[in-house]
Copies of this chain bind each other. A is one copy, B any other.
Amino acid sequence: MKHALSVTRQQNFAAWYQEVISEADLAEESGVRGCMVIRPWGYGIWERIQKLLDARIKAAGVDNCYFPLFIPLSYFEKEADHVEGFAKEMAVVTHHRLVGDGKGKLIPDPDSKLEEPLIVRPTSETVIGAAMARWVQSWRDLPLMVNQWANVVRWEMRTRMFLRTSEFLWQEGHTAHVDREDAMRETLRALEMYRQMAEDDCAMPVITGEKPENERFPGAVATYSIEAMMQDGKALQAGTSHYLGTGFAEAAGIKYQDKEGGQQFAHTTSWGMSTRMIGGVIMTHGDDDGLRCPPRIAPWQIVIVPMLRDSDEDEAVLEYCRALSRELGALEAFGEPVRVLLDTKATKAQVKRWSWVKKGAPIIVEVGPRDVAEGKAAVLRRDRLYKDDGKLNTAFTPKGDFVASAAKLLQDIQASLYAEAKARLDANIARDVSDLAAHFKGDEAKFAGWVEVQWARPSGAALDKIVEQLKALKLTMRNAPLDAAPADGACFFTGEPAVERILIGRTY
């Protein structure tokens, strides 16, 4: 069976990933170090993820706002833990003017040096904390829940498109509450929201759980994540939610008068999800012909390719396609109008078909003169592209039947992609491993899934030792699943009584 890509997942997963991104027109290198251009199909997927997640955010009563791109350097000095964790690789603005150097080149004008350098936000806890301190006076002002959709910059030495780029797009939610209980409720609500977004919208099954202490967001009291399993068995952290205690509130001065008239510090949370999710979608659903885009997040769910031959029949084919497009566009799937594209670009039908296969449009419909004559359409389900004999699995369907079943077909594809990924996740968490080195032997590219162990959750030097031990095997602890069975044995690492179960794996 010949595939649309030059490399398969089996041959070289990393090279396959890059080829999907390139061939599906998702993104490309920009010429600016570590920054990518997100192309229309990739950005269209991001817009879908945004739209669906934004509705969930709004439904929770969180208000969207916008905070400055620049953060004065001194803000990073206020919260020591935060400085240690973040104040390293960041883009620093030092001048505000360019001038000619007299030799035809431009240089930063030495006279425009800023008194205080500005940092391009790596995350916005500090600047949003300063605003919250202005906005919160009384318990009546709480909870205060805001979110922003923004670009952030973390200067990365080794970048990989979508997964780790110097600039990326994300949303960051920031909330302030009267007490630990209310803040923790919000932390877990956001986590559950991410789970739903990943599983229901992106068809990407995840494990929700708490990160171990060494993987916490700098300054957080507790960090939770959703972890997804990629097709190479590695974990992708696809969203995080942090309970920050009162540390950030104390640094920023977020105080409120309680009902008894006393002054209290607010308990804050933050939670974020980024364009990294698109990398997760590729590595969860892609196959050797490119991306398979879950219908809920596909910019176009059904693409109609007219087979034109510069002949007299072309107009009849186009007219038939336009009618089909109108009928499909009048349908609803997942509570929204079906998104249909009639691709009339001046390219050969064969080329178009494969470009939509690579992009992963859920349903591709080809219409030629014979289909018009017979009142049919050639329907290709992207998630089941080939028959057992290796031939394309095209269904020549009467037009009316196809229209009548199209919405259900989209729902089936969504469910089928999820089921496939869920089966893989469930089958590849080992719970009876006694020797990690043996289980994860071989090179890093070898599929080994994850291992769940019981542990005593030590901290300090005892934890450091475990982390080092795992690091030597290129492993990390992912999270302690919220719905894991209670611990009932000895700690895998120390032999002490275990208190919880935790997942271990290789990671992106």
Q: How far is the CA of A355 from the CA of B205 in the complex (A)?
A: 44
- Cα distance, A96 to B120, chains bound together (Å): 10
Which parts of A242-296 form the interface with B (CB within 8 Å)? none
A155 on interface, CB distance cutoff 8 Å? yes
| B76 & A347 in contact (Cβ 8 Å cutoff) | no
Chain A residues 90 to 123 lying within 8 A of chain B, measured CB to CB, are 90-99, 104-108, 112, 117-120
Alpha-carbon separation in the docked complex, A233 to B347 (Å): 53
Q: Shortest beta-carbon distance, A126 to chain B, in Å? A: 10
Cβ-defined contact, A131 with B30, below 8 A: yes
Which residues in B have their C-beta under 8 angstroms from that of A90?
Answer: 96-98
Contact A76 B91 (CB under 8 A): no
Interface residue? A72 (CB, 8 A): yes
| Interface footprint category on A | 35 or more
In Å, the complex CA distance between A91 and B153 comes to 15
Q: Taking A32-B68, A131-B37 as contacts, is the C-beta distance between A95 and B97 under 8 angstroms?
A: no
Binds B, one of A59-67, A465-473, A483-491: A59-67
Whether A118 pairs with B32 at a CB distance below 8 angstroms is: yes
List of B residues within 8 angstroms of A98 by Cβ: 73, 76, 87-88, 90, 92, 119
Nearest neighbor of A347 in chain B, beta-carbon distance: B140
Interface flag for A47 (CB, 8 Å) = yes
Interface stretch (choices A38-46, A175-183, A305-313, A329-337): A38-46
**Nearest chain-B residue to A39 (Cβ)?**
B65
Q: Is the CB of B108 within 8 A of A69?
A: no
B117-A120 in contact (CB<8A)? no
Contacts of A76 in B (CB 8 A): 98, 106
Report the Cα distance A153→B68, complex, angstroms.
11
State which of B37, B63, B91, B130 has its C-beta within 8 Å of the C-beta of A67: B37
Contact partners of A96 in chain B: CB under 8 A: 89-92, 155
User: Is A315 close to B, CB under 8 A?
Assistant: no
A127 at the interface (CB under 8 A from B): yes
A438 CB, min distance to chain B CBs, angstroms? 40
Known A-B contacts A91-B118, A108-B94; A43 and B70 likewise in contact (beta carbons under 8 Å): no
Tell me if A31 is interfacial: C-beta within 8 Å of chain B: yes
Which among A32, A72, A89, A167 has the greatest number of chain B C-beta atoms within 10 A?
Answer: A32
Q: Is A2 interfacial (CB 8 A cutoff)?
A: no
Q: Is A207 an interface residue (CB 8 A)?
A: no
Shortest distance in angstroms between A257's beta carbon and chain B's nearest beta carbon? Answer: 13
CA distance A67 to B151 in the complex (A): 11
Copy total for this chain: 2
- Asked if A35 is at the interface of the complex by the 8 Å CB criterion, the answer is yes
A413 at the interface (CB under 8 A from B): no
Shortest CB–CB separation between residue A142 and chain B, in angstroms? Answer: 10
- Closest B residue, CB atoms, query A138: B346
CA distance A131 to B37 in the complex (A): 8
Q: A99–B76 Cα gap in the complex (Å)?
A: 11
Tell me if A64 and B92 are in contact (CB < 8 A): no
Q: Is residue A385 contacting chain B, with contact meaning CB distance below 8 A?
A: no
Tell me, rounded to whole Å, the shortest Cβ–Cβ distance linking A39 to chain B. 6
Q: Does A444 contact B (CB under 8 A)?
A: no
Closest Cβ of chain B to A428, distance in Å, is 34
Do A97 and B106 touch across chains, with their CB atoms under 8 A apart?
A: no
Q: How far is the CB of A42 from chain B (nearest CB, A)?
A: 8
Residues of B within 8 A of A37 (CB): 65-68, 131
A134 to B30, CA, bound (A): 10
Contact with B along A181-193 (1 / 0, CB 8 A): 0000000000000
CB pair A94–B97 under 8 Å, yes or no, is no
A419 within 8 A of B: no
Q: Is A197 interfacial (CB-CB < 8 Å)?
A: no
Shortest distance in angstroms between A350's beta carbon and chain B's nearest beta carbon?
15
**With the chains together, A40 CA to B58 CA distance in Å?**
11
Question: B93 near A65 (CB under 8 angstroms)?
Answer: no
A38 vs B66: C-alpha distance when bound (angstroms): 5
A275's nearest neighbour on chain B, judged by CB, is B66
A101 CB → nearest B CB, Å: 11
Asked whether any CB of chain B lies closer than 8 Å to the CB of A415, the reply is: no
Does residue A169 face the partner (Cβ distance < 8 Å to B)? yes
Contact: A69 with B120, CB < 8 Å? Answer: yes
Instruction: Report whether A167 and B70 are in contact in the complex, using a CB–CB cutoff of 8 Å.
Output: yes
A24 sits at the interface (CB 8 A): no
Q: List 10 interface pairs A-B (beta carbons < 8 Å), by A numbering.
A: A31-B130, A32-B71, A40-B65, A43-B64, A69-B167, A90-B97, A91-B96, A92-B93, A93-B120, A94-B94
Residue numbers of A with Cβ under 8 A of B are: 28, 30-32, 35-40, 43-44, 46-47, 63-73, 76-77, 83, 87-99, 104-108, 112, 117-120, 127, 130-131, 134, 140, 146, 150-151, 153, 155, 167, 169, 345-347
Closest 6 CB pairs of A and B: A35-B68, A40-B63, A38-B66, A92-B95, A96-B155, A32-B68
